[in-house]
Chain A
Amino acid sequence: MSWSPGSPIISIRDVHKSFGPVEVLKGITFDVAKGEVVCIIGPSGAGTSTLLRLINALVPFERGSIRVEGQEVRDPKLDKLALRRKVGMVFQQYNLFPHRTVRQNVMMAPIHVLGLPRAEVEETARRLLAKVRLSGKEHAYPGELSGGQQQRVAIARSLAMSPDIMLFDEVTAALDPETKKGVLVTIRELADEGMTCMLVTHEMGFAREVANHVYFTDHGVIVEHGSPAQFFRAPRDARTRAFLDQVL
């Protein structure tokens, strides 16, 4: 509650998470400043996607602390819905609502969750769909769009809630190289506008150009981190070097 815009918007301290006997996060600690773009890279299945889900309380965790705008996520009295209104999330598989049109997908949450007037939300949807370059697709169903287009709708759907933070969970992993580009451009524009973004990604080029800070995780721990310049030019850890050799 005693959060001021100067302090980290997300503060992660010694977070541990297990699924049954498997410990996927073994003490993660870092901060994200407001307006910062943070990329988390590392082998798939290293618990990075789980970390994002802890931040908006989609998944509970056993040990450690995550504060979002000063609010403890593990607090049993936490208003999860209030937290999720501040934290937008975009998924690898887009997860659009297949029975609703593009425009309805974008408008549903602001109308029903935030209770905003329809006319205002219609205007927001129009603006956001233009922003993700999907004007004219308002009345299409998700099944009629390409993967990249669906992912941009998913971004617009999240933005319609005017979140303070956006989480991106391997959002380009299911896309082919051409459609990937449009999604990355959209995220980059968001970053340029000052949106706090946290990405789990394998897009090294994107991380190098856009991220303020890069974290490399393996087996549930942060192996190495730093600015993209130092991270990509002179990785210190052998595991990081091995990983980068494989993907670059």
Chain B
Amino acid sequence: MRHGGTALPVLRAQRVAQAPTLAEGLFSGWSCVAVIATFALTLLALPAAAATDSPTVVETLLKWLPLILFGPVGEFGGFALNTVVSFLAMAIGTVAGLFVGLGQLSPARWIRAIACAITQFFRNSPWLALLFFVTFLLPFEVELGGSRLPLPGWIKATIGLSLPIMGNMSEIVRGAVRSVPLAQWEAAEALAFTRRETLWMVILPQVVKRMTPPWMNWYAILTMATPLISIVGVADAMSLTQAALNAEKRDGLLLPMYAMLLSFFFLYCYPIARLTRRLERRFHVSQ
């Protein structure tokens, strides 16, 4: 029996030399945010100084801010919708991707073939095309146990975005499981664990840590891709920003408006990136 890759560094106790403390990490993090915020405010102040009679750019932005963040009154939309869509698409994509990924490792050849085909198809398709496909494929309502459930656009969009996440999660799971030395399988089997028990109790718990950073990375990518759903008619932050620009019909508003939209995504995704790096460090230490 071969002993595959016994020298995997991830399995050894690794001590990262002088991991920065939380305070240091946050300080450098917030100083970075401060620099960008200063830059953004300067950008906003420039056109504001020129126009004196009409409302300033900042006033206009503040007027639209609640709409772009939370959607129209009494409705659900805006940036809040982007985050909800990202959460749900990630949850669906992760669970589905886990099972497709395990399918790729199945001893049954036909399960492997199907799982591999699903993975490759959804990993290598443009997200926007998948989004259109799902939006037009799914009906606007479904019958469930006699009652009709509406299927609003944002739910269809969520399903559309979960598909590429599923494909990529599947690859992460497959790669992570394959990275565990064969000797671990052998040891568990010698203790009379079944294949399934070995997978869920010995192999997967070892790779959860290894999968977390790439998984969070995909979450950040997904969140930044959520403005795509504006194209299929969902009232997310992107489409509301465009609506606000149309309503104002004013020069010099285009850049500040999109800068505001970008800053939402930055402020949301940047802490995730920081957290990803902190988790990477902590997992290395505790392994």
CA distance A95 to B242 in the complex (A): 58
A109–B192 touching, CB < 8 Å: yes
Contact B189 A113 (CB under 8 A): no
B73 within 8 A of A: no
Q: Which of A72-113 contact B (CB under 8 A)?
A: 81-82, 84-85, 87-89, 91-93, 95-99, 108-109, 112-113
Q: Are B193 and A143 closer than 8 Å at their CB atoms? A: no
Does B11 lie within 8 Å of A112, measured CB to CB?
no
B186 x A95 contact (CB < 8 A)? yes
Task: Tell whether, in the assembled complex, residue B287 and residue A109 are in contact, meaning their CB atoms are under 8 Å apart.
Answer: no
Let me know if B193 and A58 touch, CB within 8 A.
Answer: no
Q: A50-B1, A97-B184, A113-B197 are in contact. Are A84 and B287 (CB under 8 A)?
A: no
Known: A91-B183, A98-B287, A113-B197. A58 touches B191 (CB 8 A): no
B193 close to A109 (CB less than 8 A): yes
**Would you call B13 and A144 a contact (CB within 8 A)?**
yes
Q: Does B60 count as interface, using CB distance less than 8 angstroms?
A: no
CB contacts (< 8 Å) of A99 on chain B: these are 205-206, 287
Q: Separation in Å of the A114 CB from the closest CB of chain B? A: 8
A161 is an interface residue with CB less than 8 A from chain B: yes
Please provide the chain B residues from 170 to 215 with a CB less than 8 Å away from any CB of chain A in the complex. 181, 183-184, 186-194, 197, 201-202, 205-206
- B190→A112 contact, CB < 8 A: no
The complex places the Cα of A81 from the Cα of B11 at a distance, in Å, of 27
A104 to B146, alpha carbons, bound, how many Å?
50
The DSSP consensus for interface residues of chain B is helix
Give the residues in chain A near B11, CB-CB below 8 Å: 98, 143
Contact B191 A109 (CB under 8 A): yes
B192 contacts A84, C-beta separation under 8 Å = yes
CB distance from B68 to the nearest CB of A (A): 44
Closest to A144 in B: B13
Contact of A56 with B by CB under 8 A:
yes
Contact with A along B10-23 (1 / 0, CB 8 A): 01110000000000
Closest-by-CB residue of A relative to B10 is A98
**Judging by beta carbons under 8 Å apart, are A85 and B192 in contact?**
yes
B192 close to A95 (CB less than 8 A): no
- Using A97-B184, A143-B13 as known contacts, say yes or no to A49 and B201 having CB atoms under 8 A apart: no
Q: A112-B201, A144-B13 are in contact. Are A53 and B1 (CB under 8 A)?
A: yes
Which B residues touch A84, using CB under 8 A? 189-192
Q: Which of A109-164 contact B (CB under 8 A)?
A: 109, 112-113, 141, 143-144, 157-158, 161
Cα A144 to Cα B136 with chains together (Å): 56
Report if B3 contacts A (CB, 8 A).
yes
Q: Cα distance A79–B276 when bound, in Å?
A: 45
- Interface membership of B6, Cβ < 8 A: yes
Q: Which residues does chain A contribute within 8 Å of B3, judged by CB atoms? A: 92-93
State the Cβ distance, B241 to closest chain A Cβ, in Å.
45
The answer on a CB contact under 8 Å between B187 and A97 is yes
- Among residues of A, the one whose C-beta sits closest to the C-beta of B3 is A93
| A157 / chain B contacts, CB cutoff of 8 Å | 191
Complex alpha-carbon distance, A157 and B192, angstroms: 12
Min distance, Cβ B208 to any Cβ of chain A, angstroms:
9
Chain A residues with CB under 8 A of B187: 91, 95-97
Taking the complex as formed, is A185 at the interface, i.e. its CB lies under 8 A from any CB of chain B?
Answer: no
Measured between beta carbons, the chain A residues less than 8 angstroms from B181 are 95
Q: Identify the closest chain A residue to B191 (Cβ).
A: A109
CB pair B197 A112 closer than 8 Å: yes
Residue of A nearest to B286 (CB): A141
- A112 neighbours in B (Cβ, 8 Å): 193, 197, 201
Q: Which residue of A lies closest to B204 (CB)?
A: A99
Q: How far is the CB of A118 from chain B (nearest CB, A)?
A: 15
Shortest distance between the CB of B82 and any CB in chain A (Å):
35
Closest chain B residue to A169, Cβ basis: B1
- Rounded to whole angstroms, the CA-CA distance of A84 and B195 in the bound complex is 13
Cβ proximity bits B251-287 to A, threshold 8 Å, 1 near / 0 not: 0000000000000000000000000000000000001
Q: Which residues of A contact B188 (CB under 8 A)?
A: 97
Q: For the complex, what is the distance from the CA of A32 to the CA of B201, rounded to whole Å?
A: 34
- CA A96 to CA B197, docked complex, whole Å: 16
CB pair B193–A113 under 8 Å, yes or no, is: yes
Known: A113-B197, A161-B192. A97 touches B202 (CB 8 A): yes
Q: What is the chain B residue whose CB lies nearest that of A89?
A: B190
Of the A-B pairs whose beta carbons lie under 8 Å apart in the complex, a sample of 21, sorted by A's number, is: A49-B1, A58-B1, A59-B1, A82-B192, A84-B191, A87-B190, A91-B183, A93-B3, A95-B183, A95-B184, A97-B188, A97-B206, A98-B206, A108-B201, A109-B193, A112-B201, A113-B192, A143-B11, A144-B13, A158-B191, A161-B192
Q: Other CB < 8 Å A-B pairs besides A58-B186, A98-B11, A158-B190, 4 of them?
A: A58-B190, A95-B187, A109-B192, A157-B191
3 smallest CB-CB distances across A and B, nearest first, come from A143-B13, A95-B187, A84-B192
